[in-house]
Amino acid sequence: MNETIETFSFNPDMLTPADRLPGISAFMRIRNGADFLEATIRTHADMYDEIVAVYNQCTDETANILMRLSAELGPKLRVYHYLPHAHPAGSDGHARTPGDAPNSLVTYSNFALCQTRHQWAVKLDDDHLAIPGAVKTMTDAIRSGAADERIMHCFSGLNLVRNDAGLWRVPAVAPVSGKGDIGYFRVSNETYFSHDRRFERFVRGGIKRQFAGWFYWHLKYLKSGGGFANYDLAANPDSRYARRLTRLQLGALWDLDDTRRALSPGPLRRLRAAIDTKARLAVARDAAITAAFPQNDLTAALDATAPRWQQWLDCAQ
């Protein structure tokens, strides 16, 4: 299936929680994601009831990849072409555009969420290489009823890059992806995206956040353009992502031991976590890294957690 969407207007009633099917939907928003799109879908598809893939402004092979996978996976993968030009996060266009406009990243995100049909949903980016064992533990808990419906079960991944010698490393200035912004949640009329001048903000209603685990390897900085091509930085030189790119280019690279040491929560962070919920989530995340990745180096960690990872990453920049 490949449906073209010319415009959209969001209303929370469209989320229809009472009509949703048991199970888990993943939803994707994709712009020029061809580098790792197939890896993301194939390493997650078995664990979800459906993946809703919505693409926008793609000039690479994204559409062709989605059509091929859709023909193979059938109703498991539902594809939509969203035509309005969605302004990227961090851009002047995004800051100026009302969140209810069709060309807002907020409306684009809410469209993708609205196409999901199951009671639980999770946002999936096109550069997430699954850690299947960890993901399956979470999805099994949801299906069995063990997962608390009052919680957004947040998860994270380590950012991967290659150094000049071709060795896998983690960028010191941005070691972690997923800082409470992604997770599994029970869909309701109060779970949707709203406008922040910097980006789209997920509204959780009364759902609290809790760290669930390290569920993926983040491949963003291995993508064409170093992961920043979609932010339109030439037209938005003051974007927060332009500053992030500069810091990444100048920053140190860590091996796995460096990463564990640097992220290990100290006494001050733990003290702050006692009174600050966001700090508590970060401490729980960082405290879990040694158990998630006890290996000697990143290659060994990839071997242990992501079967067939070399099939997807050996050609990466």
pLDDT tens-digit profile, the chain (317 residues): 689 999 999 999 999 999 999 999 999 999 999 999 999 999 999 999 999 999 999 999 999 999 999 999 999 999 999 999 999 999 999 999 999 999 999 999 999 999 999 999 999 999 999 999 999 999 999 999 999 999 999 999 999 999 999 999 999 999 999 999 999 999 999 999 999 999 999 999 989 999 999 999 999 999 998 999 999 999 999 999 999 999 988 889 999 999 999 999 999 999 999 999 999 999 999 999 999 999 999 999 999 999 899 999 876 55
Report d(CA 49, CA 128) in Å as an integer: 18
0.85 cut: is pTM over it?
yes
Put residue 11 in one of left, alpha, beta given phi > 0 → left and psi -120 to 50 → alpha. beta
Can you read off the two tokens belonging to residue 78?
């539902």
Report d(CA 180, CA 187) in Å as an integer: 17
Letter for the amino acid at 281? Answer: L
Which residues neighbour 235 within 8 Å (Cβ) at sequence distance 6 or greater?
91, 92
> How far are the Cα atoms of 12, 20, 183, 213, 302 from residue 186, in angstroms, in the given order?
14, 10, 10, 18, 30
Radius of gyration of the chain from Cα atoms?
19
Can you read off the two tokens belonging to residue 151?
């919680």
3 state DSSP class of 78 = strand
Q: What pLDDT is stored for residue 182 in this prediction?
A: 97
- Give alpha helix (H) positions in 74-153: 92-96, 105-114, 132-144
Report d(CA 37, CA 235) in Å as an integer: 26
Q: Could you report the per-residue pLDDT of 80-93, keeping only the tens digit for each?
A: 999 999 999 999 99
Please report, for the chain, the start and end positions of each structural domain, with discontinuous segments joined by +.
Answer: 2-313
Q: What pLDDT is stored for residue 315 in this prediction?
A: 60
Any bridge partners for residue 211, and if so which?
A: 154
Report d(CA 94, CA 105) in Å as an integer: 7
3 state DSSP class of 31 = coil
Report d(CA 261, CA 151) in Å as an integer: 29
What is the residue-wise DSSP string for 215-230? Answer: EEEE-GGGSGGGGTGG
3 state DSSP class of 305 = helix
Rounded to 10 degrees, the C-alpha dihedral 34/38/39/44 comes to: 130
